[in-house]
Structures are given as C-alpha cells and as structure tokens.
Amino acid sequence: MAGKGGATPATYSPSPTTDKQKPALFKEDWVRPDGRGFHQCRPAFFRTGAVNAASGSAYAEFGNTKVIVSVFGPRESKKAMMYSDIGRLNCNVSFTTFATPVRGQGSDHNEYSAMLHKALEGGIILESFPKTTVDVFALVLESSGSDLPVVISCASLALADAGIMMYDLVASVSVSSFSKNLVIDPVLEEENCQDGSLMITCMPSRYEITQLTVTGEWSSPKINEGMQLCLDACAKLAKIMRSCLKEAASDSKE
C-alpha cells in the first residue's frame, strides 16, 4: 500500500503493524463488522436546512457515512444551453479529501454524478420549471459504504426542502451478495469483498422504480429476494424521510 511504484516520494499513511489476513467475511458464522443482522439497515438520520445559502438542503447520516446535499434554483440555465420546454436537472457528487480511509481516494467515483441524475430525473416534475435549471450538489463528508444510495435519498429530501415539485420522495437502498447470503445497506469493508451488488432507487408510494443497478454474479431467485428486500427497506426509509420533512414544517410554523 505504502510503497506503490517509484513515483515522486509522496507521503503514505502508516498502516497497522500486524499483517492480519483479511478477515474471512463469508464463513459460515460471520458477524457483520458493526454487529447488525444481515437484513438490518443502519439507523438513518436526516435533517433538512443544513445549508442556509442554498434554496434547499439536507444532511444524512447512516452510521459513519455522512453526506450533505444542496439544491440551487430553479435558476437561469447556462447561456450555451438550448431552449427547453421542460426544466433541466444538473447533478454533481464530490468527496472531501478526508472522506476515504486513504486521503484523496474519493475522486475515483466520477460516475456517481450521472447516476444521481438518472435516479432523480424520473421523480421530478420537470415541466414545473421550464427554461430553468435545478442544481443538485452533493458532498460526501465521510464515506463508509452505501454512499450512492445515501446521496440519492438525501438529494430527494433536499429537493423537497427546496420546494421542487416531485411525484414522490425518492429512496434508495443497496444490498451486497456473499455466496449464499444477502446483506442490506453494506458498509465499506463489506462492499470491498462482495460478490455482487444490487441497488434500487424507487418512489415507494407509487411503487415505481427509477433506477436499478445490478453488478456481479446473481441468480434470478436471488435477484428477486434482493429486490424485495430493497423495496421493503425503501418504503421504511421514505417514512423516515417524510417524518423528517413534517418535523421541519411544524418547527417553522411555530
């Protein structure tokens, strides 16, 4: 890890002395690193209005995964943009340098911006802000597994906080597969040695899916099981998000 190649003598972070074998995660009786059950999500915490400078914003914390999403607009589209009857959605996901265990590795995930865009697009009523752009910017403060699902759920909450019209809140959950087992809401250690991963982004009250990604090796019965797990978790997650919005609304009335 430290002495990678002979490039300029950059710095390295000191690793622990004991060269333990990677803990065999998928033995018969393994326990998850944080002691959760296989089908148990981390406690989710949401709070809207994290950034005053934005039209709407939200902060989400799932275990050690912490993200902030700001929404700006609807505002003028870039000058070079063509005329458009419907609104535009612009998404960007970035990481802090200290988000990952090794400094500055978070920038590897350039695909997240496009995936966030695709996940949200179907949930937003773009016709409600013609000719303008809504910007959704996410910053992953600390990355500790299931980053993209957390960013997506948090972004839909921020959009709601900004008063952007949506068909429904968009909630997202992923599962990792390990030979026979399915593990929901995986942490970083689990994601690093999974056989496959499945992520669902859906609008629970409409029972519609906006994004589904499957990577790795899956059998059809297992995909079914994984999807059902995710859909149930999304429905529960959306309830938590809804109650967070209600709380914020009743606070502002007082």
Partner 1 sequence: MGLPNAFEDLSSELEVDAFRRLFPLRYFERHLAESIRTDGRPLGKARETSIFLGAVASANGSALVKIGSTTMLTAIKMEVMTPSLESPDEGCLAIDFFMPPICSPIVRPGRPAEASPVVSKQLSDTISSSKMIDLKELSLVSGKAAWMAYLDIYCLDADGALFDAALLSAVAALSHLQIPAVAMNDDGKIVLVSDEDGRKQAQEPVNKEKRKLTLRSIPFSLTCILHKNYILADPTAEEESIVETHVTIVLDTSGQLISLYKPGGPVLAYTSAIQDCVALTRQRVKELKSFLDKENPDMEV
**Distance between start and end Cα atoms, the chain:** 54
Closer CB to partner 1, residue 76 or residue 217? 76
Helical H runs in 26-76? none
Cβ-contact 136, 95 below 8 angstroms: no
Site for partner 1 in 54-73 (CB under 8 A): 54, 57, 64, 68-70, 72
* Cβ pair 153, 60 in contact under 8 A: yes
Q: 139 to each of 149, 163, 226, how far by Cα in Å? A: 13, 20, 28
Cα-atom radius of gyration of the chain, to the nearest Å? Answer: 20
Q: What is the x/- site pattern for partner 1, positions 85-104, by CB under 8 A?
A: -------x-x-xxx--x-x-
Report 139-198 residues binding partner 1 (CB under 8 A).
Answer: 139, 141-142
Q: How many residues bind partner 1 (CB under 8 A)?
A: 37
Closest to partner 1 by CB, 65 or 176: 65
User: Do 136 and 89 meet the contact criterion of CB atoms below 8 Å apart?
Assistant: yes
Comparing CB distances to partner 1, the nearer of 114 and 217 is: 114
- Does 137 engage in binding with partner 1 (CB under 8 A)? yes
Looking at the chain, how many residues does it have? 254
* Closer residue to partner 1, CB minimum distance, 44 or 200: 44
User: Site residues (CB under 8 A) for partner 1?
Assistant: 2-3, 9-18, 50-54, 57, 64, 68-70, 72, 75, 92, 94, 96-98, 101, 103, 135, 137-139, 141-142
